[in-house]
Every structure is written in structure tokens, then in C-alpha cells.
């Protein structure tokens, strides 16, 4: 049994969905298919959530209509018969979304976020399951929220592995079907409320299911040839990494490579399950294999995090940044769910680099200012180079000014500002 994960780009249109059928026909095995929301649906739903929370009815209605039009356009490209049951189901899902948006927002933004954001994956998986069946591939749709159980940490659910494993083994059963289609990114708590696993968490879902079902391998289908040593948006002459050890994959994912979600590798490593990253454009190409491999080193790999914020923190009385101060700082960052991408401590200051989540940054800065002197700088880039050398550093520093550097044996991280 295999696990395939298809991301938003691979299901962004009717033609893209039809391409999935062509890929699946190449594999005789039973396959669990994990699917993300279509195209930029998650971004659209995030805008809808903002309008919902702010009670901006006009823009909420506009975004809702655009979202529905987008999905119906894909439906029209897949099902000529408007009497197909798929249309009834999708209308029901949009009806459920409209009902949800008609309620009053709670005081818990993260809860409201998760109750809305999952509609993207529900829509995509229902459309794809109906189309696979329509194309003659025996398929069953499964609601992953009935199997993956978490705590109440909305937007970053922590899996209850023991309970979820029992439920997955009970629910993910092939009964004459070749394909089981389910959602990435989603789970639920003990009250059956939707809990997401973190942004871009569909890879993690695929790894969890592979671990629990003891799959032969996981394949992540992307719009790139595999794992590259740099993002093509920033580098023209990228190199395909045809093989990666679990360790290197974890390191690259941790530092922010866009191809693999950071939590994906560990569940696979624990069961020695191979991970393939392949192109849905050229599915016969080998892509990248992530496995229990050994080698001396790789070509230098570059990871860019844009729109970063540098927060500088120091005590009012010039006392040392000691454990008691760090406990307060870490506690505030954890409370608001703002993750540290890089940190640096001196005797009297503490600096952190974080993503520019405006809502969370404002909340964190406001609370930190109750205890410390705080300043922050926006519009920065965080560049990580694994297996760096002097040439690679010079390459990324062209037209940049350096604000912060952290150097290890194999990795270097540079906080820079573009000189324009």
C-alpha cells in the first residue's frame, strides 16, 4: 500500500485533476490519497476568516462567491452532466460553509480559523473522489477528522497517536476500492471540532497515515522535479538533490524549504518508510528519494525566508538576560504561537527572527513591552545555507546588508536587508 499526497498546485484546475487520473493509472497498488485545498483556496479562506471575524459582510460575501465560482468552474470542467451527484454534495458543502459564516465569531480567533479553513480540503477531496470514480477508478472518500484526533491546540493540533492509530486502522480499510481519498491538514479534538495541523500540514498528514498504516512509501507530488538546492523563485541555476538522508531532509525542512513540511520526516524515519518527492508534470522522472542513506555531504542548499521581523529585547535596568527573563520571553512567544526562526543572546539583549504574522507580532510586542525594552525591524530576509562555503556566502550577500549571522559546522544563517 502506498500513500500519495497532492498539493494545491496539483489540483488547481480541471485539467490538473484529470492529470491525477493519468498518474494513478501507472500504479497497480492500493493507494491512500491525501489532498490539499485546490490552488490558492486556503489563502482565499484566510481572507474570508478575516472578514468573518471583523463582520465585514460585503467583502465576506464577495470572497465567498469568488470561492464558489472557482470550484464550480472546476466542476464544470470535470462533469458535463449537471445531474451528477457531485454537484449536490458540493452545494451542500458550500451551504455548510455559508451557515458557519452566518454565525457570530467567538472570542477565540484560532478556533474560528479552524472551523472555516478546513472547508478547502473537504471541497477538494469530494470533487476528486467523485471524479476518480467517474473516470472508472474505484474510490472511497474518507473524512480524516473521524480518525486523526488531537488536543485543543487550534491551528497547531498535537496528535493523540494511540487513539488515532486505532481509528485509522479501523477506518482506512480497502473494501474493493483501489483508492481512498482523504484530507490533508485536518484533524479533530474529542468534541469533534475541527483542528488543523499547521499551515502546509498536508505532508504531515500523509506521513502520519503512512506511519499508522505501515505503508511501503510516501510520494509527494509537486510542481518541481523534486527537492532542489534552492527555490527557483530566487535562483536560476538550481540543482536537483536526487537523494537525501532523513537527517538532511529534517534539517532542510526545519529551516524552511518549501518542498517538505518540517514535521513530515520523523514519522517516516521511525518506521523506515521511504519518501519520494516527484513532479506531477513529469511523473516518470525519478525525483528525490528521502531515506536512510549515508554520504559525505551535498551541494550547498539555500533556503530563503522572506518578510521576516527582527525583535530586539533588553531589560530596562541593563541586567543580564538570564533564565528568569528568558522564561518570560519564551512564555509570551509560546502563548501567542509565534515561532522563532533564529535567536541570538548576548549579556544584556535577546534577538529573535520571526515570520511577519502581523496579528501575532503586534500581540507579542505589546506584551513584551510590559517587561522589557523592545524594538523591531521589518522587511528582512533570513537566508540559511546548508553545507556552506565562502563562495555561497558571497553569492547571497550581493546587494544585501548583514544584520545578524549565526554560523555552525554545516549551516550558516544570515539575517539581511535588501539594498534594492
pLDDT of residue 255: 84
User: pLDDT-derived band of residue 237, with 50, 70 and 90 as boundaries?
Assistant: confident
- Rounded to a whole number of angstroms, the CA Rg of the chain reads 23
Mean pLDDT of 335-341: 92
Cα separation, 28 vs 411, whole angstroms: 42
pLDDT of residue 390: 92
All 3 cell numbers of residue 105? 465569531
All 3 cell numbers of residue 337? 504561537
Does the structure show a pLDDT above 90 at 54?
yes
Cα separation, 209 vs 167, whole angstroms: 11
The b/e string for 117-140 (b: 16+ C-beta within 10 A; e otherwise) is bbbbbbbbbbbbbbbbbbbebebb
pLDDT of residue 298: 86
CATH superfamily of 301-418: VC0802-like (3.30.2130.10)
User: pLDDT-derived band of residue 151, with 50, 70 and 90 as boundaries?
Assistant: very high
Q: Could you give the dihedral angle defined by the CA atoms of residues 317, 322, 325 and 331, in that order, rounded to the nearest 10 degrees?
A: 170
pLDDT of residue 107: 92
pTM: 0.88
Cα separation, 330 vs 381, whole angstroms: 22
| 88, burial (CB in 10 Å: exposed 0-12, middle 13-18, buried 19+) | exposed
pLDDT of residue 262: 79
User: pLDDT-derived band of residue 201, with 50, 70 and 90 as boundaries?
Assistant: confident
Mean pLDDT of 402-417: 95
pLDDT of residue 214: 97
pLDDT of residue 295: 87
Cα separation, 402 vs 27, whole angstroms: 49
Domain spans of the chain, in order of start: 2-215, 301-418
> pLDDT of 152-196, one tens digit each?
999 999 999 999 999 999 999 999 999 999 999 999 999 999 999
Q: Compute the residue count for the chain.
A: 420
Does the structure show a pLDDT above 90 at 307?
yes
pLDDT of residue 199: 80
pLDDT of residue 296: 81
pLDDT of residue 231: 87
Mean pLDDT of 82-97: 96
Does the structure show a pLDDT above 90 at 300?
yes
The pLDDT mean for the chain works out to 95
- CA-wise closest residue to 381 among 201, 261, 256, 241: 256
CATH, range 2-215: 3.40.1160.10
Residues 6+ apart with CB under 8 A from 24: 4, 31, 33, 132, 137, 179
Does the structure show a pLDDT above 80 at 256?
no
> pLDDT of 348-371, one tens digit each?
899 999 999 998 999 999 999 999
Cα separation, 407 vs 4, whole angstroms: 37
Mean pLDDT of 102-118: 96
> pLDDT of 384-404, one tens digit each?
999 999 999 999 999 999 999
Q: Which residues pair with 274 in a beta bridge?
A: 217
Helices 119-134 & 41-54 angle (0-180, nearest 10): 140
Residue 368: which H helix or E strand, with range?
A: helix 358-368
Cα separation, 111 vs 144, whole angstroms: 18
Does the structure show a pLDDT above 80 at 345?
yes
Identify the residue with better confidence: 256 or 132: 132
Amino acid at each position: 500500500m502506498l500513500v500519495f499526497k497532492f498539493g494545491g498546485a496539483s489540483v488547481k484546475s480541471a485539467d490538473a485533476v484529470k492529470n491525477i487520473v493519468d498518474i494513478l493509472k501507472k500504479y497497480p497498488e492500493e493507494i491512500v490519497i491525501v489532498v490539499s485545498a485546490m490552488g490558492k483556496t486556503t489563502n482565499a479562506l484566510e481572507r474570508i476568516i478575516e472578514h468573518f471575524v471583523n463582520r465585514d459582510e460585503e467583502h465576506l460575501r464577495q470572497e465567498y462567491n469568488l470561492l464558489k465560482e472557482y470550484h464550480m468552474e472546476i466542476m464544470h470542467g470535470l462533469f458535463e452532466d449537471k445531474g451528477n451527484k457531485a454537484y449536490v454534495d458540493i452545494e451542500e458543502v458550500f451551504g455548510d460553509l455559508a451557515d458557519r459564516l452566518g454565525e457570530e465569531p467567538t472570542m477565540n480567533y484560532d478556533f474560528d480559523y479552524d472551523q472555516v479553513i478546513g472547508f478547502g480540503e473537504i471541497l477538494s477531496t469530494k470533487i476528486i473522489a467523485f471524479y476518480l470514480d467517474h473516470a472508472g477508478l474505484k474510490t472511497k472518500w474518507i473524512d480524516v477528522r473521524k480518525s486523526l484526533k488531537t488536543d485543543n491546540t487550534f491551528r497547531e493540533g498535537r496528535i493523540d497517536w494511540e487513539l488515532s492509530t486505532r481509528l485509522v486502522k479501523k477506518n482506512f480499510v480497502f473494501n474493493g476500492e483501489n483508492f481512498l481519498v482523504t484530507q490533508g491538514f485536518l484533524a479533530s479534538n474529542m468534541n469533534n471540532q475541527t483542528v488543523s495541523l499547521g499551515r502546509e500540514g498536508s505532508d504531515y498528514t500523509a506521513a502520519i497515515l503512512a506511519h499508522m498504516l505501515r505503508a511501503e512509501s510516501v510520494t509527494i507530488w509537486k510542481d518541481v522535479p523534486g527537492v532542489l538546492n534552492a527555490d527557483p523563485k530566487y535562483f536560476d541555476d538550481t540543482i536537483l538533490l536526487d537523494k537525501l538522508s532523513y537527517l538532511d531532509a529534517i534539517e532542510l525542512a526545519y529551516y524552511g524549504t518549501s518542498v517538505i513540511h518540517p514535521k513530515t520526516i520523523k514519522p517516516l524515519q521511525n518506521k523506515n518508510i521511504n519518501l519520494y518527492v516527484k513532479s506531477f508534470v513529469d511523473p516518470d522522472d525519478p525525483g528525490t528519494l528521502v531515506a536512510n542513506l549515508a554520504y559525505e555531504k551535498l551541494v550547498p542548499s539555500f533556503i530563503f525566508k522572506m518578510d521576516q521581523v527582527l525583535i530586539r529585547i533588553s531589560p530596562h535596568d541593563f541586567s543580564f538576560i538570564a533564565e528568569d527573563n528568558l522564561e518570560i520571553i519564551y512564555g509570551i512567544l509560546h502563548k501567542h504561537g509565534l515561532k522563532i526562526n533564529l535567536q541570538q543572546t548576548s549579556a544584556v539583549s535577546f534577538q529573535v527572527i520571526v515570520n511577519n504574522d502581523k496579528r501575532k507580532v503586534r500581540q507579542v510586542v505589546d506584551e513584551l513591552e510590559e517587561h522589557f525594552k523592545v524594538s523591531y525591524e521589518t522587511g528582512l530576509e533570513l537566508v540559511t545555507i546548508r553545507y556552506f562555503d565562502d563562495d555561497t556566502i558571497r553569492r547571497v550577500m550581493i546587494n544585501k546588508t548583514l544584520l545578524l549571522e549565526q554560523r555552525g559546522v554545516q549551516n550558516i544563517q544570515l539575517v539581511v536587508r535588501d539594498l534594492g
